[in-house]
Every structure is written in C-alpha cells, then in structure tokens.
Amino acid sequence: MLIWISRAKREVTQTELHIFEKQNLVIMKNIIYTSIIIMVFMSCKNDTSSKASVSEPEIKPIVFEGIDESIKPGDDFFNHVNRIWMDNAVIADDQVGVGSYRFLNIPQQELLKTILEDVSQAKHPKGSIEQKVGDFYASGMDTTSINERGIKPIKPILDRIDAIDNIESLIEFVATQIQTGDYSIISPYISPDQEDSSVNILHFSQTGLGLPDRDYYFVEDPSVDQIQNAYKTYLTRLFELVGDENAEAQAEVVYNIEKKLAESHKTRVKRRIIKENYHKMAVSDLLARHSNINWETLLDILGAKVDSVDIAQPEYYDKLNTMLASVALNDWKLYLKANSIGSHDNILSKAFQDASFEYSKVLSGQSEQQSRAKQMVRRVDNQLGFALGQLYVKKYFNEDAKQRALDLVNNFQKTLEKRIDNLEWMSDSTKVKAKDKLYAINKKIGYPDVWRTYDVSINRDQFFENVVALRKDAYEYELKQLNKAPNRDEWHTTPSTVTAYYNPSLNEIVFPAGILQAPYFDLYADDALNYGGIGMVIGHEFTHAFDDQGAQYDKNGNVTNWWTDDDYTKFKAKTQQIVEQYDAFTVLDSVHLKGALTVGENTADNGGIAIAFDAFKMTEQGQDTTKIGGYTPNQRFFLSVANIWRVKMRDEYLRNYVATDPHSPPIWRVNGPLMNFTPLYEAFNVKEGEANYRTKEERIKIW
C-alpha cells in the first residue's frame, strides 16, 4: 500500500467502516495465530546476522488442499488454487466479504474484544490507559442510555446552524466544527511539504460529498441509480429524525448542492498526478481570490498560524467560493444540518444508526448490522488505537519478532539492490540514486518505539461526549505538528492492523504486528510459504518507493526529478504497459478495472513477487527441488502467493471497490503479475494457448 498521510481528517463514518478502508489508514485485522508465538518471525536460513534469542521452530510443512485440477494454472492460477474454497466460503450476514486481506479483521476483532471486555469490567486509576480504553468501550456499550438521549446530544449543533445569518457566520461554524471532527465544505490536514519534506504545512483538499466518489453523481447506470436513491433516502431520514418538515425536499436541496460541488472535483485518477495536486499559495493571495471563504477568519479559528498553504485542488475552492454567494443561505444551512447529523449519526440513538446502515448496505450488499460489540471494537481501535495497541502488544507480542522481522526486511532490501543493478533499461547514474533512496528507507516493525498519547478525560456514562472529546484531541494532536519537522516516530496504523505501507514523504516502510501472521506468515511453515506470503508483501512495499508515484520522491521525501530524462521516459512507458494490461481485466463479467487508478499498486504487486522469489531462491529450500505434498519448492511459493489473496466479496462491495479502490481485486493481484513472471511458467509448465499465457515479449517487467 502506498500511503499519503492526510492528517486531521474527519473520523471514519460507519458507512466507510462497513464499505471502505480509510485511505490512507486501512482497517484490516487478523486473528493471532496460536498464542502469537508466530510473531517470532521466520528465519532466513542463509542469514547469520540475526541476534534473536529464540530457538529455531520445528518446521511442519503445510499441505495445500483444495487445488482445483480442472482449472489449468496457465488459464487462471487464482482459481486453480482458490476456486474450491470460493465455492464453499460463506460470507456472514454482517460482513461484506470473507477470507484474507482486509477481511482478516473478523477473527482479529475477537482478540481486541477480549481485551476490551476485561479492562471495561474492572476499575482502573483515572487517566490510565486501561481506564480510558475500558470506560470508552463501556460507554459505547450502554445503548440504553444512548437511545434514551435521542437527539439531545446534537441539538446544540443544530441550534447553532439555525442561528447562522450570513456567509461569515457560516464559515465560522464550519471552522469550529472541524475542530470536533465534523468536516463539511472545508478539509484541512497537516503533512510534509512535498517540496520541502523537512517541515509540515497545512493542506486543503476537495471535499463536501456524501456519495463515495464524484462520479457517482454523474454516471448513468442502474446500480449507481440505486445508490443515489438510497443516499437521498438516507438524507430524508436524517431530517425526519430531527423533526424537520418537508424532509424529502430538504434532502433534494442537499443532494443538488453536493452535485454542484462534485462538478469541480478531480477524479481519483487525476488526483494521482502528484504535481497537479500541489499548489502552494500565499494566504494574502487566497484572500483576494476567495472573498466569500474568508480565509483569514477560517485560519484564525482553526488555530493555524501560517502565511501560505497548499490548496491541493484549487478548482474545488474556486467553485465553493462562487457557490457561497450563488446558493441561498437557507439551503446552505440545510446542507450543514445534514452533514452534521451524518457526522454524528453512529454515536446517536439506534434510529440514526439504522438510517446510516440502510444506506451503507446498498453500497456493500451487507444484510445485517454488526453487533454493538463489533462496532465498538472498531471505534476504540479507530479513536484510541495506540492506547488499545499497548494492551494488545503487552498481551500478545513476542519482542524477539522485531529483530527477526527486521533481518528479513534487510535481506529483501539487498535483493532489490541486485535487481536494480541488473536492470537493462536504467542508466548507471540513475541506479546510484535509486540505491541511495533504497537504503535511506526507514523501517518500522511491530509497533511504535514512541507511543501516541491521548490528552482527554473519558467518562463511563458519556459516550457522545467521549467521541467528540477524542475527535478534538486528535485535531489538537495534529495541529501541534504544524510548522514543525515531521514526527518520524509516528505510526499511521495501529499495531494490530493487518496491513503494511510505504510513505513516500517520509521514505518509510511499516509492517505492524498484525500482518506478521497466517496466511502471510507461519512460524511452522517452510520458507516457500513464507516468502510467497509475507515476502510478497515486503517486496510490494519496497517497490512502492519506485512505482509511478513513489518514483517522483527522492530519498528525503521531496518531489524532485532524480532520473535522467531518458530513463524516466522508459520508466513511464513501462508503467503505461501496466495501465493498458489491467484496463483489459474484468470482474462481474463486464466491469473493467481502472488501470490508471490501480497502476501504483499493480506495479508494486509485479515487483513484489519478483523480489520475493529472488530472495526465496537464496534460501536452502529455494535452491532445492525436494517436493512437499507433491509440489516443488517453486510451486509452493506460487501457491502461497495465490493463497494470501484468498478473498470472496459481495458483488455490491466488489463493484464499488473497482470504482474507488487503488488496489486491483484479489483475483488480479494474483493472475495479473503472474502472467508477467516467467518463473511461474517454468514451475507449472504454462504453455502457449492457455488463457493467461503471454509471450516473453509481452511479459511486463519493471523492477
């Protein structure tokens, strides 16, 4: 995963928690394997640098079961390995998918729930981690009190909206609400300046929409029509729940404002163009350009002392400035009312939560709401994640894992260096800079060395207030980093999360504890499984430093050209081949992937497998040919690659995934890169005429 950190963003809504992964902080969890002794990570047999004190585990090779021999590996490797499982896997009514990847959260949440139930049932010193985590969880589980309060918690916000009498007071309201996590027409965040990564600056991005993407307002398609209607019904229901008359007409007003704002939004593909989404402007120039936004008042209320900011998508703020004058003030008040209710719907009474779910299930196909306990596990992890993370690490993490994992990551770094040295299309001068960047990557394993703290008082009987207090604390935490050097100890995912990421602005690679477990890693498995599993993930993240976006950042995280012109031209031509190849892939019979949206992740998938295979070939097993369970070591490596993407999704979720997610669907995270990788052809005797066969000239190789 390639991640740009957009700080101080609004908190994830229930719809997003059910449907999408937070961009940039993907919520994917997994169960701890046995008693987390698997965290003692695999040994790299040819590596003698490890100083881990643990004894070597007894390897008990796993036998692959459920291989569908009726499907040739060269026709469809993903389904050759996974079809029997896919046919038998059942998606629970309260889930949108089942299997590995982001759906490993289902069993992982049970571990977190155990922690939360334990700490919530005991009394702890006020202000302690256990007290904050336990009482926050308990306050959210008290649904009787939450339902009895009804709309009372949000009534003061609605009264303030009713009191708005001009555009200036409207902007003041918007700015004040941002501090409590209620984002509407303005979206600030704090992260490094892409032209000077040594300092954090204030950025503003396009925002203001309730549908998943700007295209959902304009695409004419029955499935999109259904989503639009569900969203309008949701807006109507919000107005009804606060006692407003003419709720349906009011919802239409809100929808039309959003649609006008959407006209100015850049598409997801255009937002991938790094330099076109960075526009540093003097505040004085913005005051002249946007008289209605009143930037001076806005920045003052936000507490941001700056003389310049980055306006990532100026077209949006130009449009907003015009609309603030052209749209009736009462219509704007309806918009803000709908937005504020929506920002709080899942911390209000059951009626509001039900309204949110009725909309989200049209997007996801999920037929049943998750239990309150599951919802609260996610909320605690989202808002108090590093406090909960400390309890998680204390209970489950083996400290030897950090060094063992770091050893493996270091070996993959050396493997990529060799691949760079052997590139035929890159000049020696660019190779030197590429390797400089490679070895400047900061590696983070397991959990943070410095834990993020929460300066907030949590009360057991005030759920709504607790959530708002934590949102305020998150805002203040980020604001303190403005105009300062980036905090290189900070993590942007919690330790229990099953994910990994590369952050180009800090040139760092991160592997939390959650990803270091089955099916990605199994202490008792042979190297072939682990290199095809966690090895592919490690290689994927390293490749992100050199994908179509990551390659625009130098070793310090600045957007600058470190390539020769000829090398970069060749590189762009190769990434364009990836775009065109993936454009041709489909799911649900006729839904085409967006090659230009997924090119970064696809490049990383292709590179990740190649790097992992090279590293595997340096192990004792990789140099052997002894079969296990009827398969050679090379074959077991590729079977493992397919196994880690064993995922089944609901059609509704998958359709939206293709429209909005920068990752390809699981089937193409396997078949796509493997059809480009000659060792797969050799391992499974893939022949011309088979569906996924490509000639050597057609096989794309970048890194």
H, E, C per residue of 112-180 = HHHHHHHHHCCCCCCCCHHHHHHHHHHHHHCHHHHHHHCCHHHHHHHHHHHCCCCHHHHHHHHHHHHCC
- pLDDT for res 39: 30
Contact (CB, 8 A) for 622 and 495: no
- pLDDT for res 525: 86
Q: Tokens standing for 417?
A: 């260096």
- pLDDT for res 10: 36
Of 317-326, 494-503, 635-644, 692-701, least confident by mean pLDDT is 494-503
- pLDDT for res 56: 58
- Point out which residues pair with 502 in neighbouring strands: 2, 509
Rg (CA), the chain: 25
Angstrom CA distances, 555 to 272, 441, 486, 542, 590, stand at 20, 7, 15, 13, 41
How far is residue 642's CA from residue 635's CA, in Å, rounded to a whole number? Answer: 11
- pLDDT for res 22: 31
pLDDT digits (tens, 9 = 90+) for 541-566: 999 999 999 999 999 999 999 999 99
pLDDT digits (tens, 9 = 90+) for 127-154: 999 999 999 999 999 999 999 999 999 9
Q: What angle do CA 83, 86, 87 make, to 5 degrees?
A: 90
Alpha helix (H) ranges present in 516-632?
A: 527-532, 534-544, 565-583, 595-616
- Strand duo 188-193 + 442-446: pairing: unpaired
Residue identified by tokens 């990605």 is 520
- pLDDT for res 68: 97
How far is residue 172's CA from residue 324's CA, in Å, rounded to a whole number? Answer: 13
Residue spans per domain, the chain = 14-48+70-115+411-452+490-684, 151-347
Q: Which residue has the higher pLDDT, 24 or 250?
A: 250
Q: What is the mean pLDDT of residues 96-106?
A: 87
Closest CA to 195 of 488, 561, 560: 560
Q: List Cβ neighbours of 469 (8 Å cut-off, separation of 6 or more).
A: 456, 457, 458
- Whether residue 29 is predicted with pLDDT greater than 70 in this model: the reply is no
- pLDDT for res 406: 85
How far is residue 131's CA from residue 72's CA, in Å, rounded to a whole number? Answer: 56
- pLDDT for res 12: 36
Of 8-17, 197-206, 284-293, 414-423, least confident by mean pLDDT is 8-17
Name residue 395's amino acid. K
| Phi and psi at residue 511, to the nearest 5° | -130, 95
Q: Which CATH class is domain 14-48+70-115+411-452+490-684?
A: alpha beta
Ramachandran assignment for 589, one of left (phi > 0), alpha (psi -120 to 50 degrees), beta (any other) = left
Closest CA to 9 of 193, 205, 208, 189: 189
pLDDT digits (tens, 9 = 90+) for 34-84: 222 223 333 333 333 333 344 455 677 788 989 999 999 999 999 999 999
- Point out which residues pair with 647 in neighbouring strands: 99
Contact (CB, 8 A) for 314 and 286: no
Name residue 675's amino acid. M
Q: List Cβ neighbours of 210 (8 Å cut-off, separation of 6 or more).
A: 231, 235, 254, 258, 338, 339, 342
Helix (H) or strand (E) holding 649: strand 647-649
Mean of all residue pLDDT scores within the chain = 91
How far is residue 71's CA from residue 282's CA, in Å, rounded to a whole number? Answer: 60
- Helix, strand, coil percent content, the chain, rounded in steps of 5: 55, 10, 40
- pLDDT for res 268: 98
- pLDDT for res 515: 86
Contact (CB, 8 A) for 484 and 465: no
3-class SS of residue 629 = coil
CATH superfamily of this structure's domain 151-347? Neutral endopeptidase , domain2 (1.10.1380.10)
3-class SS of residue 502 = strand
| Phi and psi at residue 14, to the nearest 5° | -60, -40
| Phi and psi at residue 101, to the nearest 5° | 60, -135
Q: Tokens standing for 561?
A: 């050209």
- Whether residue 589 is predicted with pLDDT greater than 90 in this model: the reply is yes
3-class SS of residue 97 = strand
pLDDT digits (tens, 9 = 90+) for 443-477: 999 999 999 999 999 999 999 999 999 999 999 99
The DSSP symbol for 355 reads H
Q: What is the mean pLDDT of residues 381-410?
A: 86
- pLDDT for res 401: 63
Q: Tokens standing for 84?
A: 């029997």
How far is residue 658's CA from residue 664's CA, in Å, rounded to a whole number? Answer: 7
Categorize the per-residue pLDDT at 17 as very low, low, confident or very high, splitting at 50, 70 and 90. very low
- Whether residue 120 is predicted with pLDDT greater than 90 in this model: the reply is yes
Counting residues of the chain whose pLDDT is more than 90, the rounded percentage is 84
3-class SS of residue 509 = strand
> Do the domains 14-48+70-115+411-452+490-684 and 151-347 sit in the same CATH topology, yes or no?
no
How far is residue 111's CA from residue 36's CA, in Å, rounded to a whole number? Answer: 11
How far is residue 324's CA from residue 326's CA, in Å, rounded to a whole number? Answer: 6
Q: List Cβ neighbours of 13 (8 Å cut-off, separation of 6 or more).
A: 342, 343, 345, 346, 356
- pLDDT for res 38: 29
Contact (CB, 8 A) for 76 and 87: no
How far is residue 336's CA from residue 332's CA, in Å, rounded to a whole number? Answer: 6
Q: Tokens standing for 278?
A: 């960075």
- Environment class of residue 150 by beta-carbon count within 10 Å: exposed (0-12), middle (13-18) or buried (19+)? middle
- pLDDT for res 19: 32
Helices and strands counted in the chain (H then E)? 27, 11
pLDDT digits (tens, 9 = 90+) for 356-377: 999 999 999 999 999 999 999 9
Q: What is the mean pLDDT of residues 632-650?
A: 97
pLDDT digits (tens, 9 = 90+) for 229-282: 999 999 999 999 999 999 999 999 999 999 999 999 999 999 999 999 999 999
Report the Cα 63 to chain-centroid distance in Å. 32
Long-range (24+ apart) CB contacts under 8 A made by 127-132 are 127/457, 129/387, 129/390, 129/391, 130/391, 131/458, 132/384, 132/387, 132/454, 132/456, 132/458
Long-range (24+ apart) CB contacts under 8 A made by 60-67 are 60/524, 60/525, 61/525, 61/526, 61/529, 61/628, 61/629, 62/522, 62/524, 62/525, 62/526, 62/529, 62/629, 63/628, 63/629, 64/629, 64/631, 64/636, 64/639, 64/643, 67/639
How far is residue 476's CA from residue 428's CA, in Å, rounded to a whole number? Answer: 47
- The full DSSP string for 435-491 is HHHHHH-EEEEES-SS---------TT-HHHHHHHHHHHHHHHHHTTTTS---TT--
- pLDDT for res 4: 57
Q: Which pTM does this prediction carry?
A: 0.92
Categorize the per-residue pLDDT at 16 as very low, low, confident or very high, splitting at 50, 70 and 90. very low
- Environment class of residue 335 by beta-carbon count within 10 Å: exposed (0-12), middle (13-18) or buried (19+)? buried
